[in-house]
Amino acid sequence: MNESIAAPAGPSFARDLVALTKPRIISLLLVTTIAPMFVAGAPAWTLVLAVFVGGYLMAGGANAVNMYIDRDIDDRMSRTRLRPIPSGRMRAEAVLAFGILCATTATFLLAHVANVLTAALALGGFYTYVFVYTRWLKRISPQNIVIGGAAGAFPPLVGWAAVTGRVDLMAIYLFLIVFYWTPPHFWALALNKQVDYGRAGVPMAPLVWGERETMRNMLWYTLILLPITFLPVAFGALGLPYLGAAVILGGWLLLGVVRVMRAADYVRPAWSLYKYSLLYLALLFAAMVVDRALV
């Protein structure tokens, strides 16, 4: 057996398995999964733990399958060439099997401990990310992150359904918040990763539309996002503490987009916007939980 592709036992192998799940990315997904549970009601900690583990396994499985599908282009990009498959540390088939195992385990856990709707929604996010984004749109359209990015908006639905057993209007608002947040967040990164995406042949927005048009679209999506974040207050689901946080956080996000558009050199402002957008979403969902706790 070729030692370069054999899966060694021990700490390095364990680290690779964790790396396949992309834990840093999943951390934000889990915030948008767990926070809605406390907005929806007062969930038992056993349920919270099950949704946390199930959500991690489902998202981690999707990320592993994503690496399997993208194995032919990952070695062309500086930020992905050290992943387990292109680096030769793991076989592609093993990565695929690991991803499917994670998703299958998550489906069973969520259906058994929460309810079938929760498991179905989590699985819907998995299939959207793997097939709609990675397998279909990623390599053919600059709209890839808009349509396929809907996969990242499923976690709030999962958390809400786990507590309520249904998807109602508030859950839809949470879905839309993440959906409209995704393009400005991801395009801020894409602006600074154009060389990588161009080398891999991935038609991200800055390569197809140009930088200025991408920035204009970032602005439009942000201008749509901000009113959506206020809607839960307008309909009485959340109150003034959340509204204050949404206004401040949203205003800073909008200012970040404007700074990118006005900068003579957008590199540093785009990086700052990308990093802040991560904090923005986490704090916005945290503000929802705080608001409901104060009621």
pLDDT band at 155 (very low <50, low <70, confident <90, very high): very high
Q: What is the pLDDT of residue 254?
A: 98
- Arithmetic mean of pLDDT, 66-83: 87
Tokens of 89: 């540390």
Residue-wise pLDDT tens digits, 11-68: 588 899 999 999 988 999 999 999 999 999 999 999 999 999 999 999 999 999 999 9
The pTM of this model reads 0.92
Q: Give 23: exposed, middle or buried? Use CB within 10 Å, 0-12, 13-18, 19+.
A: middle
Residue-wise pLDDT tens digits, 214-266: 999 999 999 999 999 999 999 999 999 999 999 999 999 999 999 999 999 99
Cα–Cα distance for residue pair 139/235, rounded to 1 Å: 40
Please name the residues in contact with 38: beta carbons below 8 A apart, sequence gap of 6 or more.
Answer: 289, 292, 293
pLDDT band at 140 (very low <50, low <70, confident <90, very high): very high
- The DSSP result for 77-92, as a single string, is STTTTTSTTTTTSS-H
Q: What is the pLDDT of residue 135?
A: 87
Contact status, residue 96 vs residue 65, Cβ threshold 8 Å: yes
Cα–Cα distance for residue pair 160/152, rounded to 1 Å: 15
- Arithmetic mean of pLDDT, 191-207: 92
Q: What is the pLDDT of residue 21?
A: 92
Go through the domains of the chain in sequence order and give each one's CATH number. 1-166 (1.10.357.140), 168-295 (1.20.120)
